[in-house]
A and B are shown apart, each in its own frame.
Chain A
Amino acid sequence: DTGVSQNPRHKITKRGQNVTFRCDPISEHNRLYWYRQTLGQGPEFLTYFQNEAQLEKSRLLSDRFSAERPKGSFSTLEIQRTEQGDSAMYLCASSPGTGGGETQYFGPGTRLLVL
């Protein structure tokens, strides 16, 4: 297993366009987390899944953001009608979940630039 993977690694888009990012967690990890990191700051929590259930969403996640994990494996994060303020690194992490350990392992991130 090569760890958490994210695609694409970089995305440049124009304001108002929709973008979708994908995260593939470590195999058999039940929990999957999305974070956002802006320049000079630490990552901020956006949302997380236990298997396919989305259990918590941050107030940072406006109604333009939606995340899914349809089969409890990979997850997608979609941003509709992007704004310049959405420019950031979007990080995905996974952990084994309850009974299997809580440590979160991060992917390389998707860097989004909204022009």
Chain B
Amino acid sequence: GEDVEQSLFLSVREGDSSVINCTYTDSSSTYLYWYKQEPGAGLQLLTYIFSNMDMKQDQRLTVLLNKKDKHLSLRIADTQTGDSAIYFCAERYNQGGKLIFGQGTELSVKP
């Protein structure tokens, strides 16, 4: 079946690292994505990882993929108040390319 799960809330202090976790079910997924959504806005693509990779780093963002456990994480280094938003993990369903999203993790960054 198609299912992506995330924890709902994460609170960190400014300057700390944030780690947002996600589990997915479709082992044939080729791409996994992280999107950011600010209040009332659409989804902003943050980064993605191809399924044959274990890790991808992009400035303050590090994505780790454990394909065996179907676990994906997003680490944000030196978290800033501007990082406060909802973060969505999504897997690209192999057939047709539709994305299956998790419920989103609300990140709150306290000064």
Which residues of A line the B interface, CB within 8 A?
4, 6, 31, 33, 35, 40-45, 48, 55-56, 91, 93, 95, 102-109, 111
* B77-111 interface bits toward A, Cβ cutoff 8 Å, 1 = contact, 0 = none: 00000000000101010001111111110000000
Closest residue of chain B to A9 (Cβ to Cβ) is B40
Partner of B42, one of A33, A55, A106: A106
Contact, CB under 8 Å: A41 / B103: yes
Interface of A (DSSP majority class): strand
Residues on the A chain within 8 Å of B33, using CB = 103-104
Q: How far is the CA of A108 from the CA of B86 in the complex (A)?
A: 15
Could you list 12 examples of A-B contacts with CB < 8 Å?
A4-B42, A33-B99, A40-B104, A42-B104, A43-B101, A45-B99, A55-B96, A91-B42, A93-B43, A104-B45, A104-B97, A106-B42
Contact, CB under 8 Å: B102 / A108: no
Contact, CB under 8 Å: A48 / B96: yes
Contact, CB under 8 Å: B43 / A43: yes
Which residues of B line the A interface, CB within 8 A?
4, 30-31, 33, 35, 40-45, 48, 88, 90, 92, 96-104
Q: How far is the CA of A44 from the CA of B45 in the complex (A)?
A: 16
Interface of B (DSSP majority class): strand
Contact, CB under 8 Å: A108 / B41: yes
Q: How far is the CA of A103 from the CA of B45 in the complex (A)?
A: 9
Contact, CB under 8 Å: B103 / A107: no
Residues on the A chain within 8 Å of B97, using CB = 31, 33, 48, 95, 102, 104
Q: How far is the CA of A93 from the CA of B99 in the complex (A)?
A: 10
Closest residue of chain B to A42 (Cβ to Cβ) is B101
Q: How far is the CA of A41 from the CA of B100 in the complex (A)?
A: 12
Q: How far is the CA of A33 from the CA of B31 in the complex (A)?
A: 17
> 9 nearest interchain CB pairs?
A42-B101, A106-B43, A45-B98, A108-B42, A106-B42, A56-B96, A109-B42, A43-B101, A42-B103
